[in-house]
Structure 1
Amino acid sequence: MSEPSGLFAEQEAFNTVGSILFGLLVDGDERIEYRSSMTVAGVASKVMAFNPAGRLEAPSGRYNTPDTPYALDRAFKVLRQACYRPGAGTWFSVLVVVQASGAASVEYNYDREVDFSLGGIDPISYVTDQEKFPRNVDQQPEWLKLRLAEGRARLAARDK
């Protein structure tokens, strides 16, 4: 059985993400931002809080319960699944901003190659992602076609 997708599931998943991030705000914060690059096999993310003095990268103590990092990671995976559209794929990176007022916004990146930092991500990750979230060839940007070809070549070499 597949996970829910579509607009209702997307809104529900986004509300969960927003609620978790809102819970990470502390007195004096104006907003919190979560940036993430994601495939099925890899995630690179950063949480930053902003107060009147400027930016503060959220220390691990910012997570108010031991389950918060897991819950946040799971919530973004559910959001990515909910945003999947057959043949068109899902996003590779996201920026979510939650204001202290409770307002929230999101920007999805479906088409630009993302920086996973620390040497990037193994192209096999894109092959795995393509299997989970199929994207028609005509919906694949050129960089993705190249990464998929690289990943498939690495898999073929590994199988020899």
Structure 2
Amino acid sequence: MSQPGPHDQPGSLDEAAQQQLIQEIGRIIVRALPPGWREATVEYRELGPHHELVAQLIAPNGTAIPLAAPADVAELFVRLRHGMYQPDRGTWVSALYRLQRPGSYTVDFNGDFEPSWRTAPPPAAFAEELRRFPRPAAVTPEWLGLRGGSGPGLRTAEVFDEDGRPITERPQINPAERDQVIDYLEQAPIVLAARSFDTDRLDPNRNPAVPMTFHTDGSWIWPGAVGYYLRQHGVAPEAELVAHIRSRSFLVPDVDEPRREQAVAVITGEHR
């Protein structure tokens, strides 16, 4: 399959050019449909170098009948996806083209949810997608950021301010969730650790007991001090980290080795 040329910059298609491509895709699909068709769908899915093209006829009773899609359509979808890229949003990963006789059509573009792949993309495809079409972390879906391994979706939480004091001016955690948040913070994989313990900044007379560790759940990185100060002094973590933990139902996910290595690179400053 051909790719956009080096002179074609991502996001180079204006609204009129996008509509022209969309209409051309529709014309090619219609020419390939069998006589008597009433409704058909064509879905194109792409992530990095991985791509799929699925076409179906929709019978009057709603039954989907597999259909061979013309190869030319895939190349036009590639150009459309490349040209619709936006630096602040990325681009879509699947497009569903629905046609109804005699001449109506709709196109739904999906840039947020993982497509229902026929064959799962290889792990490298996630990182390649983010290399080709970078997105800000705030708009990178977790399924893509977690497996992309290239910064988006990997955030660092702090427990101390610029003067080295624990940050106490944060929303308090619901007492009913406190223990679950602590368990999450402490049970997430440790990716970097020192053999010694640090001094408690809120109780300097206590024997050093603050763990000098770093944890990650594949989306966030935080020092062991975050869980310690919550457990010992009720110092809440960043509100966004708490919301993230809550969104995962307080269950620590599996974190694969490449993602752990990525976390270490971020902590040590080797990440670029």
Mark yes or no: TM-score above 0.5: yes
The answer on whether the counterparts of 1:31 and 1:49 sit within 8 Å (CA) in structure 2 is yes
2:49 maps to 41
Could you list the per-position Cα deviations for residues 87-131 of structure 1 after superposition, in whole angstroms to 9, with x for gaps in the alignment?
31111111101122121101111101123233x112211221212
- 4+ runs of 1 displaced by more than 6 Å? none
Aligned residues: 147
The answer on whether the counterparts of 1:43 and 1:116 sit within 8 Å (CA) in structure 2 is no
Task: Please state whether the residue corresponding to 1:90 is helix, strand or coil.
Answer: coil
- In structure 2, stretches of 5+ residues that fail to align are 1-6, 151-255, 262-272
Task: Please state whether the residue corresponding to 1:20 is helix, strand or coil.
Answer: helix
Give yes or no for the alignment of 1:141 onto 2:141: yes
1:56 maps to 65
Aligned positions of 1:11-90 closer than 5 A: 11-52=19-60, 54-58=63-67, 60=68, 68-69=70-71, 71-90=72-91
2:123 maps to 123
Question: Which structure shows the bigger proportion of residues in helix conformation?
Answer: 1
**Higher mean Cα deviation, 139-148 or 35-44?**
35-44
- The alignment's TM-score, normalised by the length of structure 1, stands at 0.80
Identity of aligned residues (%): 23
1:153 maps to 258
What is the aligned-residue RMSD (CA, Å)? 2.5
The answer on whether the counterparts of 1:13 and 1:82 sit within 8 Å (CA) in structure 2 is no
- In structure 1, stretches of 5+ residues that fail to align are none
Higher relative contact order (CA 8 A, sep 6+): 1
- The alignment's TM-score, normalised by the length of structure 2, stands at 0.49
Cα shift at 1:36: 2.4
Bigger Rg over Cα: 2
Could you list the per-position Cα deviations for residues 36-76 of structure 1 after superposition, in whole angstroms to 9, with x for gaps in the alignment?
22123011221001243643211x4xx6xxxx31x111011
